[in-house]
Amino acid sequence: EVNGTTIVSEDASQVDLSLCDEVSDNLETSFDENLQAQSTFVITNSTFNDYFTGGELNDKVDAGSTLDFQGTFNGPDYKVNITKPVNIISSTHDALFNATGKTLSSGGCFHISSDGSGTNVSDIKFLNSAFYVTNAANIVIDNISMVANASGIGQGTGFMCIQSGSRYVTIKNSYFENGGTGSSMVVIGYSDYCLFDSNEVYMSGGSGNSVYLTTFVSSGHNLPTGNIISNNYIHGKQSGFCIPLVVVGNDNVIYNNTINYTGPSGISNQYYSPAPSNTTYTNNVLIGGCAFTAGVDSYISHNSVEGSLNAGTNSYVLQNDVGGTIAAGANCTVTENKMKSLSLSKPNVVVDN
């Protein structure tokens, strides 16, 4: 229905609703949680150098060991490079890495490198410290907290950065806050089949893009593919250079996220890049008036958007509730939506609303 007028087309039956049902079946990515039980090492700021040499795990730690971090680790002397598959926990729930490093290139941060594939991290807090996963696979990061408010933290990369061909990295049940770094928060660059699920992302100060699928970080052989961004709450202050969720690549899923943002754009394609392709956007809620821009060949269904919705070419736009205008590109099917107005500036659009 558009301003009280019903527009009908016989071709709306072309819509494939089965894509929406497939989203829930793909929310859990495959990763390895089968580390063999080895020794448990309690690591404090006084025992840190017993197990790390120059920030890298030494021979005292075998693959499969548990590293139980306890207490506060202040400054770059406590930079970490995980080069073996280990379990990282804090049984006392008080492990805090504070100002361990702004970026990977600056010489200090918390880092899981390729040889650390298979590592699990849980219950660790980070303050003004960057965390990188580089060309690693089968990583699970659960219930961490990352807060940054100092300039330069994550500069050029984001302060939680999955990069350089990483695969099957899960980040879940975690909290991220940007208090004015100007950097992005959670960045997935040239990495595939990652899951970012059930997290809170808060912009309390000037922020770059909040959750960012990108090709502007590191390098890789293909566009970010098969990543899932689901069940997250992204909210906070408007910044002139912040978009809460940016998408690039192929076959990604954006599912059941809530974005509360008063800036002009809530979900967007990466600028100066090919539009994302074959992306599924379902059950997302955008409030605060921000717009929603989807890629090409997309499935856009059951979203609630206070602002406008822009659909790329060859997309299905189904059963969305849009407070502003739906603008449909060429060869789109637009059916059973509620909207203030409809813009059909391109040819061959099938409409049934």
In tens digits, the chain (353 residues) has pLDDT values of: 443 333 333 343 344 444 444 444 544 444 455 555 679 999 999 999 999 999 999 999 999 999 999 999 999 999 999 999 999 999 999 999 999 999 988 767 999 999 999 999 999 999 999 999 999 999 999 999 999 999 999 999 999 999 999 999 999 999 999 999 999 999 999 999 999 999 999 999 999 999 999 999 877 778 999 999 999 999 999 988 899 999 999 999 999 999 999 999 999 999 989 999 999 999 999 999 999 999 999 999 999 999 999 999 999 999 999 999 999 999 999 999 999 999 986 677 888 87
How far apart CA 179 and CA 3 sit, in angstroms, is 42
How far apart CA 350 and CA 332 sit, in angstroms, is 6
How far apart CA 176 and CA 183 sit, in angstroms, is 13
Q: Residue 294 — φ and ψ, nearest 5°? A: -105, 160
How far apart CA 82 and CA 92 sit, in angstroms, is 21
Quick one: pLDDT at residue 12?
A: 37
Quick one: pLDDT at residue 27?
A: 46
pTM of the prediction? 0.90
For the chain, give percent helix, strand, coil, nearest 5: 5, 40, 50
Strands (E), 123-276: 125-129, 131-134, 137-142, 145-148, 160-163, 167-172, 175-178, 186-189, 195-197, 200-203, 211-214, 228-230, 233-236, 245-247, 253-255, 258-260, 265-269
How far apart CA 163 and CA 174 sit, in angstroms, is 19
CA angle 281–283–286, rounded 5-degree value: 90
Quick one: pLDDT at residue 225?
A: 97
Quick one: pLDDT at residue 207?
A: 93
> DSSP string covering 175-196, please?
EEEESS-SS-SEEEES-BS-EE
Encoding tokens for residue 293? 């821009």
Quick one: pLDDT at residue 241?
A: 87
